[in-house]
Chains A and B, each alone.
Chain A
Amino acid sequence: MQTSHCLLIRALRDISVITAFSLSDWDLFIRQARQANLLSKIYYLLDTAKLLSQVPEKPLHHLQSIYYISQRHSASARWEITEINKVLAPVNVPVILLKGTAYLAQNLDIAKGRLFNDLDILVPKQKIEKVEKELWKNGWLSFHHNEYDQRYYRQWMHELPPLKHENRGTVLDVHHTILPETSKLTVNTEKLFQDIIPVAGSDNIYTFSQPDLILHSATHLFSDGELEHGLRDLSDLDGLIRDFSAHNNDFWQILIERAFELGLERPLFYAVRYCRLILETPVADKVSGLLAPCKPNGFLLSVLDRLFIRALMPPHKSCDDRLTSVARFALYIRSHYLRMPLYLLIPHLLRKFFFSDKERV
C-alpha cells in the first residue's frame, strides 16, 4: 500500500516539497489538508520553514483564512481554560486537560494551528459528582436528555454525557479515566494522576507528563472508531515524538517503561509503527527491540496494517481506494468490540441503528 502518492502525507513528512507544486497540485493539496483538519497546521509548518512566500496567491488566501480561524480557536480555548480553573477551584481537585488544550496550555509546538472542537478534562472519579455540580452551577449543562444516553455514559463510559455552556455553546467532556469502564484494554488510572504537570498561572489545572501525553493520544487514536481525523491525531503523535525525543536522550526508554507500567504498551506499539510507516517519524534503533514483546501476531498485524494505513489517509476521495470505506467500517466495528463486551455491544448498536435518527433533534 502506497502512502506517498498523497500530497498531504508528503508535505507532512517534509514541508519543502511544496516548492515543486504546480497550481493544480495546490488545488488538491488544500482540499486534502482541509478535510483532514490539517490546513491550519500546514500554515504554521510553512511559516516556520519560511516558505509562505513560495505559495501562489490563490492557495495563500485559503491558508491565511484558516490561520485567522486557528488564532481564534486558540484564544477561545485559552479563555475556556481560565474559566474552568475559576469554576472548579472550590472543588479543590486536580483537573487534567486532555489532548489539544493540554498541548496549548504547555505551549507545545504541535498546538500551533490546531483547531479545537470540544474541551476534554479528566478528574478523579470520586469527585466527579462535585465537579459536575460546580459546572452545572456555572452554566455547563447536559444536552443528552434521554435516559438511555445518560445511562450509556454514566454506567459504561469513562466520561459524563457531554456538557454545553449555555451562553458560549462550548462543549466540555468530563472524563474520569481514559478508556471506557467496559473496555477490554484497562489502564491504571491512579498512576496517571501521579505523574502530572501543573499549568503555569492556574490553581488546579494540570496536564499529563510528556510520556503520558503520547500514551493517551495513542490509546485514543488506536481504540477510536471514528478515524476521519485520524491523520490529524497521528500527526500530533509525530509532533510529540519529534519534540520530546529531541530534548531528552532517555526519552524512548522512559516512554516504553511508562507504557508497560500503565498497561498501554499495545497502543504505543501501533503509534510508533504507523507514525513511522506513514509520516516517517524518526525512531531510535533500540525501540523495535523494546516494543517486541507487545507486537501482535504476524497475521493480525498484517490485517491491521491494511486497515489502519487506509483509514489514516486524509478523508478525501483523492486518497481513497476501493477498500477505504471497508477499512474504516471494520475499524469502527473493532473500536466498539474493544469498547464493550458483545452482550452489551449488540443491543447498543441495534438501538443506535434504529433510534439514532429519531432522537437527533
Chain B
Amino acid sequence: MRVKDIEYEQFKKYVSCEGVCLKIGPFVVNVRSSFPLVAENIYQLYADFIIELNSEFADFYVCVKPPAGLRRWFRPQCLFSFDGFIPFKPLPANHAFVFFEWGLNWCIAQFAHQFLIIHSAVLEKNGKAVILPGMPGAGKSTLCAALALDGWRLLSDEFALFNPEDKSLTPIPRPVSLKNESVNIIKQRQDNIIFGPLVENTHKGTIALMKPVTSYVDASAEVACPAWIIFPEYQPDAESSLLPLSKGEGFMEVKKNCFNYDVLGERGFRSLGELLNLAECYNFSYSNLDEALNIFNQLALEK
C-alpha cells in the first residue's frame, strides 16, 4: 500500500500515535510526530512511497516532538529523537518537517555502514549512473533536480549508497532539497512539479522540497551501475566545461565527500578503489542549466 492510498486523516492519526513505517530506499523508517506539519508534508511529498502497516522490523525509529517545558508554547520548538536519543539541539517548530529530513540523513550517515556513503546526488540514464558529489553551494541539488526533470532517473539527492559487494548504487529517491534561488529556477522549468511549502530562515537559508515522480519511487529496488563521478560547480556567467580528472585526484575528491570512509578503514579504501575503477571522473563548471543538460545527455549517449 502507498501513502496516498490511505485517507489523510487516518494517516495523520498513525503518524501522531504509533508512527508509520515507510519504505524509503533500502530502509524501513518508523516516523512519529505530533506536529501536523510533518504528517502533511510526508503525505504530500512521500505520497508514492510504500507504507508498511504491519512491519516487523524498522531500521530507524525517528520522531519529531515538542520539547518539555515552556518552549512547547512560547516561541515553540521541535526536537528530533532517534528512538529516544536526542542528537541535536531543538529547532523552531516550523522546521519540524525539514528536521525529519535532516534527522533521517543523520541516521543513514551514522548507521548504514554496509554501504560506502558519499554526500552526493545520484541519477541514472540508460543503465549508467552519475554521481554528483558536492560541497554545499556547489549547485549539486539544482543540477540534480534539473536532470531528474529531464528524464534522468533520480536515485538520490543526498547520498550515494555504494555497495562494495556487488559494486552497485542503491537508490533512495527521497524529495530533492532545494535552497534559496534554486527553488525558483527549478519551479520555472516545468508547471507540474510538486513542491512542499517554503521553509525560511534555516541554517541553510530558505528550503523547499521537490516531490520525486512516481516512476523513480517505484524503481527504488533497481540498483544502478556507477559510470561517472562528476564534481559540479556553479559559477555565474561561466561557460559550461567538462574536464577529465585523473583517478587519483578523483579518489581524493570523493574521499572528502564520504561520510564513512574513516569508519570503514581498509574496507573504505578498497570500496572507494572499486568505485573509481568503474567510474570516470570529471570537473564540471556551469552557469546555464540547459547547456548542462545537453552535455550530460551527450555523455550518456557516448558510453
Contact = CB atoms under 8 A, between A and B. Distances in A.
Nearest to A72: B263
Contacts of A315: 84
Chain B at the A interface: SS class: loop
B267 A68 contact: yes
Interface in B73-123: 83-85, 111-114
B79 to A, nearest CB: 15
A35 B60 CA distance: 12
Among B57, B61, B263, max chain A CB count under 10 A is at B57
A31 interface: yes
Interface string B116-137: 0000000000000000000000
A24 interface: yes
Nearest to A68: B113
A57 to B, nearest CB: 10
Contact of B265 (A22, A23, A31, A75): A75
A159 B262 CA distance: 31
B111 A24 contact: no
Given A35-B84, A315-B84, A26 B57 contact: yes
Contacts of A62: 59, 111
A59 interface: yes
A328 interface: no
Contacts of A24: 56-57
Contacts of A34: 83
Given A26-B57, A68-B263, A68-B267, A31 B113 contact: no
Contact of A23 (B56, B83, B112, B264): B56
Contacts of A61: 59, 112, 114
A316 interface: yes
A23 B84 contact: no
Contacts of A69: 113, 263
Interface in A92-131: none
Chain A at the B interface: SS class: helix
Contact of B85 (A23, A26, A35, A75): A35
Given A72-B265, A316-B84, A58 B114 contact: no
Contacts of B28: 58
B39 to A, nearest CB: 21
Contacts of B61: 31
Interface string A40-59: 00000000000000001011
A31 B58 CA distance: 10
Nearest to B260: A68
B113 A64 contact: yes
B71 to A, nearest CB: 12
A71 B262 CA distance: 11
Nearest to A67: B113
A317 interface: yes
A27 B56 contact: yes
Given A26-B57, A27-B56, A59-B57, A65 B112 contact: yes
Interface string A229-249: 000000000000000000000
A307 B61 CA distance: 28
Nearest to B262: A72
A58 B267 CA distance: 20
A315 B81 CA distance: 14
Contacts of A31: 61, 83
A34 B59 CA distance: 12
Contacts of A65: 111-114
Contacts of B267: 68
A34 to B, nearest CB: 7
A56 B57 CA distance: 10
Interface string A60-101: 011011101101100100000000000000000000000000
A317 B84 contact: yes
Interface string A295-323: 00000000000000000000111000000
Interface string B15-52: 00000000000001000000000000000000000000
A43 B173 CA distance: 31
A75 B264 CA distance: 11
Nearest to A65: B113
Contacts of B84: 35, 315-317
A35 B28 CA distance: 19
10 contacts: A24-B57, A31-B83, A34-B83, A64-B113, A65-B114, A68-B113, A68-B265, A72-B262, A72-B265, A316-B83
List the 7 closest pairs (A to B, CB-CB), nearest first. Answer: A65-B113, A23-B56, A24-B56, A27-B57, A68-B113, A58-B57, A61-B114
